[in-house]
Amino acid sequence: MQINIFPTLFVGQNRVNLKEVDSTSNFLKARLSNSEPLPEGTVIMAERQFAGRGQQEAVWHAEPGKNLTFSLYLKPSFLHPAQQFYLNMAISLAVSDTLESWIPGQVKIKWPNDIYAGEQKLGGMLIENTLSGMAIRASVIGIGLNINQEIFPESLSNRPVSLKNILHKDVDLLHLLGHLCSFIEKRYLQLRSADYEGLHVAYESRLLGLGSERQYRQNGEDFAGIILGVNEEGRLKVLTSGKEVVFGFKEIIFLTTHS
């Protein structure tokens, strides 16, 4: 355990550094299941995750020691389960806020929570909520960002990119983490103050494909559509063939635009 000097009230003030682990989120969930008293804002970091996960059990490919891979513990008990997508908005915005400091004007959120620079994936997150009655008892937020890795497996279809690929220089991981914890805390406090509209507007403004016609796929059929935004449940609103259609997670595939 390490006490940080990050300029935050609680996010990242308690940090556990690991050399290697199957996944930081699994490690954190195991600690919580053993009823270990962890302060809100605890960060579990690892130089190497050999079973890091993304959405729908996708495997995260990260070169050891080159990227930012960590999990964060939050207790958003003030949120009703029906409002949990607002937590996704807050964290997605915080990550994009942070990366905007390094590459201004390039960062977009690919719905629901992948982070892109142009048409290339910079990172993503997986939020796992534990519900208790009509509240969210605990949230384990796994975040993976491509920072100093320069080469990625050619088999990856999402054309990953790193900050080093863009900036052509190394980025200090701890410095970046400090900024990220600060932005997460800011957006989380905005969420806790019930500024749902502010989060919603900001999130929609960062959406990849917002307001422009792009190609999508549903059930093997390709179609053209324009992203209009998201509803309160986090479902994607798309204008296609003159009508608004709403899609849930994994019901629609973004087809890569080569530019």
pLDDT-wise least confident of 37-46, 147-156, 224-233: 147-156
Structure tokens at 48: 């190497």
Whether the link from the prior residue into 112 is cis, omega within 30° of 0, is yes
pTM, two decimals, is 0.92
Strands 68-74 and 43-49: antiparallel
Question: Using CA atoms, how far apart are residues 181 and 176, in angstroms rounded to an integer?
Answer: 9
Mean pLDDT of 74-94: 97
Q: Give Cα separations from 246 to 87, 111, 126, 200, 234 (angstroms).
A: 20, 13, 22, 16, 10
Question: Where does the pLDDT of residue 256 fall: very low under 50, low under 70, confident under 90, or very high at 90 and above?
Answer: confident
Q: What's the pLDDT score for residue 50?
A: 77
CATH of domain 2-205: 3.30.930.10
Over 90: is that where the pLDDT of 155 sits? no
CB proximity list for 169: less than 8 A, separation 6 or greater = none
For 9-160, where are the alpha helices, taking DSSP H only? 24-33, 85-102
Angle among Cα 201, 205, 207 to the nearest 5 degrees reads 120
Strands 135-145 and 120-132: antiparallel
Burial of 172 (0-12, 13-18, 19+ CB in 10 A): exposed
Q: When comparing pLDDT for 171 and 3, which is higher?
A: 171
Question: Where does the pLDDT of residue 8 fall: very low under 50, low under 70, confident under 90, or very high at 90 and above?
Answer: very high
Q: What is the pLDDT of residues 24-80, one digit of tens each?
A: 999 999 999 988 789 999 999 998 887 655 544 445 556 889 999 999 999 999 999
